[in-house]
Structure 1
Amino acid sequence: MFQKHCPGCFENKQGLAACPYCSYDESEPRSPLLLPHGTQLANTYRIGRVLGRPGGFGVTYLAWDSHLQQRVAVKEYLPRDKVARDPVSLQMNVHVPDQVAHFNFGLDQFLSEARMIAKFDHPNIVRVRNFFRAYGTAYLVMDYYEGRSLGDYLASLEHPVEPTAAVQMMLSVLDGLQFVHDRGVLHRDVKPHNIYMTSTGRVILLDFGAARQAAGISVDSISVVLSEGYAPLEQYQKNSPQGPWTDIYGVAATLYRMLKGGPPAVALDRLGADPLDADFELPERLAVVLRKALALRPHERYTSALEFKQALMSALDITDQKHAHVTQTLQGSVEPETKTVAWGNPSDPSQLNKRDASPTIVTSTVVPTPWGPAWLIAAAIVLGAVIISLPLWLNR
């Protein structure tokens, strides 16, 4: 028996397997780890198709909000290598008893992320409507936007993006980052797949996924996943401070990907003979700005998203910021290659957010703290989704 309303678009398909409106086929096999089509959450949200699986620690579904009568996106905390779902109760169960504490810590971080992002109201930051616990895990309800990720869009192209169009899109991302940085929050995983382009031309920064980092913690080490090419050097180093400069690196690497057709060399591979030194066939003024934003040493980068934005606008003589409208249909793409980096033993899981300061990206932890003047001196760069304090830049 199939759903009356299509799990792929929520149009009335009269109980057919394949939807005549969007072609979604409900009869296709579905992983037992996922919530079944039609599952009700909080007596409000009816679960549909999978929209994405960010970082291995969660899954995002399309859902129908029965109160608002509209589609929403629902993100579930789901560290797939640690849990199984009971097929009857749908309860999430942790495989190994000694992983329960780590699962719960990740769950708390997931909810911390939700609480923090729910306070934000900015056109270039994903909007969180609700969050709650259910089935032994947690859920985050976000606005759903018609469109595609920048990563998918770039994968559909056979040529680089024109410089002015690429820069204009990144200006919107920098606006969103300046907003969260002003509130003591870092993203720490800025990359094409975490930037969404709506069908109306709006650019939205997604996936402040704090729980992914926490979920990677094992008994003997802290494991963090990096998006290679987009993660700055400080995220490979245990005690390097991170700040707005970290997200700036991520934006610059994303812009580089748009302009050159591929991400810059992995930060560790840039030590010594830097391949970027001979790799800037771009307008001279833009190349100068991009080199500075991609500097290996944090203190050599721009100190704020606003400063980077102003430099980009000046380099291309842009006086009017416009939203980039991208209408091409894309065929899907692959997440950037990820790599796990392990560190030493954590003595107190509650302190993990402070100790992984220079780790790697693909993760995002939310640990709010006020910025202070010390961040202007501390050398650091790039982005990732984590809330960090700037005053003393906690020796994470």
Structure 2
Amino acid sequence: MIQLMSEELEPAELLPVGTLLHRRYCIDGILGRGTYGITYCGHDEKTGTRIALKEYFPYALAVRAEQGQALHPKNKACGALFFLGSEMFYRQHLALTDAKGSDNLVTVYTAFFENGTSYAVMEHLVGITLERFLQLRRRRLYPEEAMYIAASLADALLVVHSLNSLHYDINAKSIFLCTDGKVKLVDFGAAKAGLRARHEVDDTEPWIDLSAIGRTLYEAMTGLAVFGEGIQPHANIPPQFFEFLWHLLETSGYRRIASVFDYRHALACVEIGAICPDVVDEDVTSSIPEPRKNASQSRPQEARAKEAAAQPLPKKSILDRALDAMEGAVASEPKDAEEQVQKEARIKRKVWVIYGGVVCVALILTLIIRGLIH
């Protein structure tokens, strides 16, 4: 990070060099100040690791005591907002200590309360912000650079949103370009994202981070500020990437890119050349080709009959043959009721004759056996 001159900040607002916080984190200097706080550089007394330490200090709501290091609200009206913001700052950064799986998100080691406010201990990054990069290079972002930043932020937001949190303050100052080539998302919008845990925001709010990315990249590629939701095509932006940015900022009607998963899918489509459009009923019906007319329909009926007779019959399956046999058996049964009755009578007479013959044979055998015994 770039160390700012101490003259840019009032000495009374700063913690002195050498201040020890949480009994282990020592302040070595000042990195900068934002709307919600001051960022210091320092080191961990126990491990010797270099750290960045951010103090929640919204200058519009609080002041530092003349004697000591504690912060106090400017008045009673500011008190509720200050303490709520401090709690949200703590809860958000504490949640980020569980953020794993992304090299594009600043590592947060811990968060704690002290001096009437809250602090977050993070890794110390070496590099510059996107805003400073554009100032030093005196040029706009190239499309390849914008694509790389967009992909890096997608990985970072996937982790952040999975923790039920939001950044809420993505801009050129919160996109950090490290000297090793990595892009890191830093400087979270402290006082707002924790409201998500209290169910005070709706499910559409992940789109807030995504639209902020679209606005930041458009301004970085064109140098034009985005007011409202409308953006215009620009010579520095390829058509496919402009369409991607336009859908990030578009809010009227259906939001095509409303989640990180939609964002990553759309970005992948840009890499292969186009944004995948929504599929509607008209597109589906228009994509189905009309069936071609069969050439045999224009032939005379006799020709079709001869052609059908000449074609070999298809081989039937076992099930088809079984069904045919059942149909034949049913068709072969006599349909005349009287004939059926006569047939049953003849069968009964034959049965009785056979039964009578068997009985007679049994009696004769019985008499013969008795005669032999006596």
Residue aligned with 1:142, SS: strand
Matched, 1:245 2:225: no
Q: Which residue of 1 aligns with 2:57?
A: 78
In structure 2, distance between residues paired with 1:51 and 1:67: 22
Paired residues in the alignment total: 267
Whichever residue aligns with residue 215 of structure 2, its letter is A
Cα 1:255/1:81, change in 2 over 3 Å: closer
Does the 8 Å contact 1:113/1:209 carry over to 2?
Answer: no
Matched, 1:315 2:270: yes
Whichever residue aligns with residue 283 of structure 1, its letter is P
Unaligned 5+ runs, structure 2: 195-199, 274-374
Matched, 1:151 2:131: yes
Q: Which residue of 1 aligns with 2:224?
A: 262
Cα 1:95/1:159, change in 2 over 3 Å: closer
In structure 2, distance between residues paired with 1:25 and 1:178: 35
Matched, 1:296 2:251: yes
- How far does the alpha carbon of each residue in 1:164-222 deviate from its partner, in whole angstroms, 9 at most, with x for none? 121012101011112222332222222111111111111111122322799xxxxxxxx
1:298 Cα offset (Å):
6.7
Matched, 1:126 2:106: yes
Does the 8 Å contact 1:129/1:142 carry over to 2?
Answer: yes
Whichever residue aligns with residue 248 of structure 1, its letter is L
**RMSD, aligned α-carbons:** 3.0
1:116 Cα offset (Å):
1.2
In structure 2, distance between residues paired with 1:248 and 1:28: 32
Does the 8 Å contact 1:106/1:213 carry over to 2?
Answer: no
Whichever residue aligns with residue 69 of structure 1, its letter is G
Partner residue of 2:85 out of 106, 114, 135: 106
User: 1:20-35 maps to which residues of 2 (within 5 A)?
Assistant: 30-35=10-15
Query: Is the radius of gyration larger for structure 1 or structure 2?
Result: 2
Whichever residue aligns with residue 95 of structure 2, its letter is M
Does the 8 Å contact 1:61/1:73 carry over to 2?
Answer: yes
In structure 2, distance between residues paired with 1:160 and 1:135: 42
Q: Which residue of 1 aligns with 2:240?
A: 285
Cα 1:140/1:31, change in 2 over 3 Å: same
Matched, 1:206 2:186: yes
Q: Which residue of 2 aligns with 1:381?
A: none
Unaligned 5+ runs, structure 1: 1-7, 10-21, 215-237, 319-396
Q: Which has the higher contact order (CA 8 A, sep 6+)?
A: 1
Q: Which residue of 2 aligns with 1:63?
A: 42
Matched, 1:140 2:120: yes
In structure 2, distance between residues paired with 1:182 and 1:317: 27
Answer with 70-79 or 306-315: which moved more: 306-315
- How far does the alpha carbon of each residue in 1:131-153 deviate from its partner, in whole angstroms, 9 at most, with x for none? 21222222111111111111111
TM-score, length-scaled by structure 1: 0.60
In structure 2, distance between residues paired with 1:127 and 1:243: 24
Whichever residue aligns with residue 123 of structure 1, its letter is D
Cα 1:203/1:151, change in 2 over 3 Å: same
Residue aligned with 2:17, SS: coil
Residue aligned with 1:300, SS: coil
- How far does the alpha carbon of each residue in 1:233-254 deviate from its partner, in whole angstroms, 9 at most, with x for none? xxxxx99863322222111112
Whichever residue aligns with residue 174 of structure 2, its letter is N
In structure 1, distance between residues paired with 2:13 and 2:135: 28
Partner residue of 1:53 out of 5, 27, 33: 33
Cα 1:291/1:34, change in 2 over 3 Å: same
Q: Which residue of 1 aligns with 2:160?
A: 180
Residue aligned with 1:299, SS: coil
Does the 8 Å contact 2:99/2:163 carry over to 1?
Answer: no
Aligned-pair identity (%): 27
Q: Which has the higher helix share?
A: 2
TM-score, length-scaled by structure 2: 0.64
In structure 2, distance between residues paired with 1:294 and 1:98: 35
Q: Which residue of 2 aligns with 1:196?
A: 176
1:88 Cα offset (Å):
3.7
Does the 8 Å contact 1:49/1:61 carry over to 2?
Answer: yes
1:83 Cα offset (Å):
2.7
Whichever residue aligns with residue 70 of structure 2, its letter is Q
Residue aligned with 2:173, SS: helix
- How far does the alpha carbon of each residue in 1:262-296 deviate from its partner, in whole angstroms, 9 at most, with x for none? 34x211xx5xxx4x245466322222222222213
In structure 2, distance between residues paired with 1:95 and 1:303: 39
Cα 1:279/1:135, change in 2 over 3 Å: same
1:163 Cα offset (Å):
0.6
